[in-house]
Amino acid sequence: MERNRKYRPSLEELQSKVSDPWMVLKIMGEFVEGFDALRDIGPAISIFGSARTSKDNPWYEMGSRTAEEIARRGYAVVTGGGPGAMEAGNEGAKKAGGTSIGLNIVLPMEQSANTFQDIELHFDYFFVRKVMFAKYALGYVVLPGGFGTMDEFFEALTLIQTRKMKNFPIVLMGKDYWGGLLRWMKKSMVEGGTISPDDLNMFYLTDDPVEAATVIQRALEEGSEIRPEWRRELARAKKQAAQINAPRRMQAKKKKS
C-alpha cells in the first residue's frame, strides 16, 4: 500500500488523457534545460557504471583513474551524477582539473547526487537523459554495471550499427566482468547470425585506464571507429615498455634486498 501511495501521482498522470499535452511540455522542458546547460561544454566522454559500486571496490578506482586520464586529454566527463561508478567518474575528472558533469535521474532508490559535479542536471525521463549522454559525448566508457549500464551500451551499439551515430568509440572496462557477455555474443549472436563478426569491433575491452583513454583519443583524432589492429599495436607497445622497464625493476629489487 505504501508503494501504491508513493507512485499514485505518476499513475494518475499516465491514466489521465488531460495530462498528455502537459507531459509533452514537461518533456520539452527537460530537453530545453539540457540543451541549454550542455551546449558549451566542449568535447566530452560519457562514463557509465553501477550506482552500487562501493568505494573500496577495485572498479571504483578503475573508473576514477579512467576519468582522470580522459580529463587530462582535454575532454569533459559526463556521468549519471549518482553514487558508485558515477561518482568515481566525476571524482576522477575533478582530480585532473577537467569539467565534471552529472545527469541525474529522479528515482525512488539508489540515486543521490554526488558532490563532484561542476554541472548538475536532474531528469524525470530516462529517454531525455539518454539523449543528453549521446548528443554531447564523443565516446563512451562502460564500467561494470547492471541493467541501466547495459541499456546504454547496447543502445549505443545499435545506433552505430544502424549508422545513426558515427565515429563513436566505446570502451568496456573490466575483462572479468564483461568476458562472459562477450563469449555469449560470439557464441550465440555471431554464430546465430543475428550480428556480424565485425560488429564485435565496435567496442574495445580493457582493464587499463591509460589504454582506454588512449584508444578513445586515437579514434577521435583519426576520425574512425575503434580498429581491430590497435589491439595488436597496444599489446606490442606494452611488451616493449615492460622490456625497457625491466632493468629498473631489477635494480629496485636489489636495493630493497
Residue ranges covered by each domain of the chain: 2-226, 232-257
Fold of the domain spanning 2-226: Rossmann fold (3.40.50)
User: For residue 5, what pLDDT is reported?
Assistant: 60
Q: How far apart are CA 226 and CA 219, in angstroms?
A: 6
Do the beta carbons of residue 207 and residue 62 sit within 8 Å?
yes
Cell numbers that stand for 73 in this block? 586529454
Judged on CB neighbours under 10 Å (0-12, 13-18, 19+), 210 is middle
**Alpha helices, H only, 16-140:** 20-38, 58-72, 85-95, 126-135
Residues of the chain predicted below pLDDT 70: 1-19, 109-111, 225, 228, 230-257
User: For residue 20, what pLDDT is reported?
Assistant: 74
Smallest CA-to-CA distance from 63 within 48, 74, 81 is with 48
Q: How far apart are CA 137 and CA 101, in angstroms?
A: 11
Q: What is the pTM of this model?
A: 0.81
Pairing of β 100-105 and β 76-79: parallel
The number of CA neighbours under 13 Å toward the Cβ of 178 is 22
- Backbone φ and ψ for 120, nearest 5 degrees, come out as -125, 115
Do the beta carbons of residue 104 and residue 132 sit within 8 Å?
no
pLDDT digits (tens, 9 = 90+) for 98-157: 999 999 998 776 668 899 999 999 999 999 999 999 999 999 999 999 999 999 999 999
Smallest CA-to-CA distance from 170 within 214, 129, 196, 205 is with 205
Q: How far apart are CA 138 and CA 111, in angstroms?
A: 25
User: For residue 17, what pLDDT is reported?
Assistant: 57
Q: How far apart are CA 109 and CA 130, in angstroms?
A: 19
Cell numbers that stand for 200 in this block? 564485435
Q: How far apart are CA 251 and CA 257, in angstroms?
A: 10
